[in-house]
Amino acid sequence: MILNETMYARAARCERALFEEPSEPDDDRASTAELGASILPNAVFRHEVRYAGLSATVDAVYEKRGRRYAVLFGPGTGVRARYLDELEFCRYLFAAAGFPVDFWHVYHIDKKYVRGVELDPDALFVVADVSNRLMKRDGVEQRILRYAALLAAADPSAAQPCGKRTACPYCGGATAKDRDDPATLHKAGRLPEKLASDGISRISDIPAEYRLSPTQRIQRDAVISRHEHRDYDAISAFLDTIAYPAVLLDFEAISSAIPPFPGTRPWEHVPFMYVARILAHPPARSAPNGAVGGKPEKWGVVSPSVCDQQGVCDQRGFVESLLDATAGSGSIVSFGAEFEKRVLRRLAELFPAHASELIERADRTIDLLEPFEAFAYYHPDQKGKCSLKVVLPLITDGGYDGLAISDGGDANAAYRRLLSGRRSGRPEPDEDDVIDALRRYCRQDVHAMDLILTALAGSRRV
């Protein structure tokens, strides 16, 4: 393997990354560079220099009044450390190969940019001259020699761990912890270190009188008893706040460097799909898990087929469909509902004609996460966490296996692929299948909420 700017920047964060599979090409990085190309018409793109068995590529190189400029287009909203790491490598190699550059520029995204009907790349990018910052960086040559030698020796054990154990996927931070591990304690902070200094290495060894938060105490007791904890009164009180007929609502949203629709900003969460299941009555206390089929369901999508090449899509139709599906006076129930509320309020800004209805929907939204966040229900295998995907298989028999799209990242990437296909005038041939897979994924979250609600109803005080 040849050391290049991408690997160098990864190694600068953790040497162990040198021996991992190269990460997938980043959609945002690629689309940002492609858009950037349109504002530098006289530049040479993806300019590569090879020297001494190494390879360095910058997004663009151009000359103006006898000076040479090298450019990196970054999807971040500022000059990221990673960009500087890449560029210090390029700067060193370009100079060594006899291709000197006078100015090093990072074109990053302006987070205040609001997209009009058409994208304005000149307004989207902020240009930062990082030439001086690169000049001041020490040790570049030593790092290049070290990483190249590590790669040549092909000996992963010689790579230094970065020391950021929990934050680094290469240094063991991502390994699964068992439920007795103090690092899993809810809002643990520095508590694991304190426990260690008191000679306590397992949750089950924490003495009853030890100072813990109420949720940590519930967690400790559940680990010791090996049983789930249910606060029947709190669960009943929560269930009583839901007014029927209720709507279980879930959004899928994309977040990207380049705002997808008019009125949207870089990196904001832009909804493109919803699924709404109508529950006429509260779940029966005795209903077995899974007996929730056959309920009326509505869904809507900002269909890529009605997006033109300027990126104008039928978002209004989506909003109208959403309002129709959530009409009525009952509760709207979502899991982690702060997200749904934020989406609804943001749509109200974008569609003033529907603002009062959208805000009314946000006000009617109840958060199914609440009883879990409060540990009114807690299963010892939650390991201090309470996301939908953690809770679902523990409280019910449900899971996310067997779906073509099974996580939010996949959903985001799949929808973006459809949009960019339309915009380039080459629609994806499997568009309908992708939308169907997205709907199944979104529907799965709604179904999960339905199952959880039924399971909670089984925890009512009789």
Asked if 12 and 138 count as a contact pair (C-beta separation under 8 A), the reply is: no
Q: Which is nearer to Zn ion, 162 or 302 (CB)?
A: 162
Q: Which is nearer to Zn ion, 170 or 335 (CB)?
A: 170
CB of 85 to Zn ion, least distance (A): 15
Q: Which is nearer to Zn ion, 144 or 162 (CB)?
A: 162
Does residue 168 interact with Zn ion by CB under 5 A? yes
Alpha-carbon span 172 to 69, nearest angstrom: 40
Closest CA to 405 of 372, 430, 368: 430
Q: Which is nearer to Zn ion, 124 or 171 (CB)?
A: 171
Q: Which is nearer to Zn ion, 14 or 392 (CB)?
A: 14
Alpha-carbon span 121 to 107, nearest angstrom: 11
Q: Which stretch binds Zn ion (CB under 5 A): 170-178, 195-203, 409-417, 422-430?
A: 170-178
208: Cβ–Cβ under 8 A, 6 or more apart, which residues? none
End-to-end CA distance of the chain: 66
Q: Which is nearer to Zn ion, 14 or 362 (CB)?
A: 14
Map tokens 């073509």 to a residue: 404
CB of 156 to Zn ion, least distance (A): 12
Does residue 96 interact with Zn ion by CB under 5 A? no
Q: Which is nearer to Zn ion, 96 or 168 (CB)?
A: 168
Asked if 260 and 418 count as a contact pair (C-beta separation under 8 A), the reply is: no
Q: Which stretch binds Zn ion (CB under 5 A): 142-150, 169-177, 180-188, 410-418?
A: 169-177
Residues 1-60 close enough to bind Zn ion by CB under 5 A: 14
CB of 15 to Zn ion, least distance (A): 8
Closest CA to 253 of 322, 305, 330: 322
Which token pair is 363?
């006000």
Out of 69, 113, 170, 415, the residue judged to bind Zn ion by CB under 5 A:
170
Does residue 441 interact with Zn ion by CB under 5 A? no
Which token pair is 218?
């519930």
CB of 86 to Zn ion, least distance (A): 18
Alpha-carbon span 253 to 260, nearest angstrom: 11
> How many Cβ atoms are within 10 Å of 445's Cβ, its own excluded?
23
CB of 10 to Zn ion, least distance (A): 10
CB of 186 to Zn ion, least distance (A): 26
Instruction: Kindly state the number of chain residues that form the binding site for Zn ion, as judged by CB under 5 A.
Output: 5
Asked if 287 and 457 count as a contact pair (C-beta separation under 8 A), the reply is: yes
**Helix, strand, or coil here: 113?**
coil
Q: Which is nearer to Zn ion, 168 or 243 (CB)?
A: 168
The binding track of 128-167 with respect to Zn ion, each residue x by CB under 5 A or -, is ----------------------------------x-----
Alpha-carbon span 344 to 322, nearest angstrom: 10
Alpha-carbon span 171 to 159, nearest angstrom: 11
Provide the binding-site residues for Zn ion, judged by CB under 5 A. 14, 162, 168, 170-171
